[in-house]
A and B are shown apart, each in its own frame.
Chain A
Amino acid sequence: MVLNVALNRLLGVALVQRPLILGVDAGLTMTKAALFDEEGREVAAVSARSETSAARAIRNVFTVATQTARMWPRSV
């Protein structure tokens, strides 16, 4: 789904009749897609946030840590 969002945004600016190379990077934080011409020049690039259960778990850990810290007695 994230890949489709990125590709749809990217292909909207790529309506040109020349050879292009599409690169996709599905990262833990962001999914990126970029178009390059045959000389290696970037034509367009987009990114969308990667949504993974791991990312949700990480956010939950930080949220719980924050809530715990707020509950902690100031004297400690």
Chain B
Amino acid sequence: MVGVWPIDAKGRPVRQAVLVSDTRGQEAIDATMARDSQVLKRIFANDGCVVEPGCTLPALRWLFDHEPETMTLARWILACKDWLRFSLDRRDRDRRKTEAAVAPGDARARGRSIDMLRLFGLDASIELFPPVLVSEAVAGHVTAAAASERGLRAGTPVAVGAGDVPCCALASGAADPGIACTILGTTLHNGLIVDRPVFEPFELGLLRGCFRAMPGSAHIDCCAGRGGLIFLGSAFRWNRARVRLDGDAGRAHLIAV
């Protein structure tokens, strides 16, 4: 879900989105580490997650460093889910209330962090980041234009929504503290529902805030698949296409792989 979806003041993309799998942000992480050797520990202690090159802040730093002219057109920086929602209800409400997730942020405060922005030299760009709202809130309603484009009914309420990991955990039935789950998608997550932010084991895995409407189930602590596993879905799809194995035989082969 993280990455960068830069849009202009009229809600138009100023360039292609940078996805979570993009590695160009490593340059910004390396530069930050060169200034402060403890920066990764500092980020984990604040965010509860290891920082990936495709996280919003390092990827955005790369864009500012390499595409400054394009980025002067950007008015808002969104995440994927926020862009989807924005495309449904953007003309229904005050654009200043457009809300978005960003990583790394502040896991305890469940919001963005000026300290994290400062680590990547982005504190002066804080106006690009809309406020953070809770996932259960209704952000707006499907506009007439969006209804025409998408085939949905105009006026349908549009919720803020949440990231893929908390949603998958909830959908799998992992809704109460102590329940563990495995999420197998393009990425692989083994997670545990906890009732408060957990920062152990230190510098390993991801911590995701869940829905505030779920009493006592505030967070999911994930030991995420990393490295080669980040492209699990694409690799499987490529493998299936190459060996031409579909159905039960194909699935058995891929599981064996």
Contacts and interface: CB of A to CB of B under 8 A. Distances in A.
B15 to A, nearest CB: 11
A55 B84 CA distance: 19
B37 interface: no
Interface of A: 3-4, 7-8, 11, 22-30, 52-55, 58-59, 62, 66
Given A25-B164, A29-B234, A11 B84 contact: no
A8 B151 contact: yes
A24 B233 contact: no
Looking at chain B's contact residues, is the secondary structure mostly helix, strand, loop, or mixed?
helix
20 contacts: A4-B149, A7-B151, A8-B151, A24-B84, A25-B164, A25-B167, A26-B80, A28-B19, A28-B187, A28-B231, A29-B234, A29-B237, A30-B233, A52-B19, A54-B19, A54-B21, A55-B234, A59-B234, A59-B238, A62-B242
A25 B171 CA distance: 13
Contact of A4 (B20, B151, B237): B151
B234 A28 contact: yes
B152 interface: yes
Nearest to B80: A26
